[in-house]
Amino acid sequence: MEQLQHTNPLEVARRTIALEAGAIEGLASQLTDDFSKICQTILDAKGRLIVSGIGKSAVIAQKIVATFNSTGTPAVYLHAAEAIHGDLGMILSYDVVMIISKSGESPEIKVLAQLVKNFGNPVIGMVGNLDSYLAKQSDLLLDTTVSQEACPNNLAPTSSTTAQMVMGDALAVALMELRGFKSEDFAKFHPGGALGKKLYLRVADLYIHNEQPKVMADALLKEVIVEISKKRLGATAVVNAADELLGVITDGDLRRMLEKNNRLDEVSAVQIMTVNPKSIEAEALAIDAMELMRKNNISQLLVVNNKQYLGIIHLHDLIKEGLI
């Protein structure tokens, strides 16, 4: 394959992005009342959403299915070619079928559309040709027509597959809002990795693995130093007899105190501590603890239940969990 020396890759990239961005912008004007009807059809269905395609559209169908499943809409991917060679059995009577195709005229797509119609399942066509066989066989339509592919020969699916992807996202997001799908629901389907942890991991899951450094308000300096050193969290809480939080003493507080005091044997915890320290409830999300630490440029937070002191969560706990 001959390489054209005068080709500027940056110019090609910018042109490609501009063409695909233009294709996406055009989608908004191509939406009709069918979009709302499709949302309602999927919401009312007792079965699942089956999404099918062939070629590049099949790849887009797989991504759309993944998005639907993670956002509360049960969906199954069905390859159009495999469908007409035995996999049609996965389509149940209560399912809704969405078929994705740019041309709407691929042989496998035409056969699949007719078979699904014969089954009596609702057929949603996401198609780039409104005069196609698929468009005419569909009960409801999503128009993903593009004026030009980003490919210089106007052949390779580029703008058209981008349009399909965005239309799928628009449908998934609309269904999310109609279902009242919240971050708590999202967390149920994403329990693994950093994303899942941000949505479900709580302060209570982390602080319990740490020591619980604490001293009474009248504790002398030596006891304070020993407690901080022994518990290895860089700080200690100052509490009363009922374990209610009064203040905190950090390594930094000790250094500043040593610079100012000569009579160290008379110094007590209440004289050194910072009152009204930054704290967080045990049931708060760990991600909220991270944001509070960042905002206040600190490396630990005291964990409380109302005013009752429970322990300390440290920045290292969040790093260990991959939240930072």
Q: Which amino acids are annotated as binding site for Zn(2+), given as ranges?
A: 79
Q: Where on the phi/psi map is residue 27: left (φ > 0), alpha (ψ -120 to 50), or beta?
A: alpha
Residue ranges for the known binding site are 79
The backbone torsions φ and ψ at residue 248, rounded to the nearest 5 degrees and listed phi first, read -140, 150
Spatial CA neighbour of 83 closest among 47, 45, 123 = 123
Contact 144, 160 (CB under 8 A): yes
Please give the Cα distance from 236 to 238 (Å, whole number).
7
Contact 272, 264 (CB under 8 A): no
Angle between helices 251-260 and 221-231 (to 10 degrees): 150
Please give the Cα distance from 30 to 35 (Å, whole number).
10
Side by side, the strands of the sheet bearing 123-127 are: 75-79, 49-53, 96-101, 123-127, 140-143
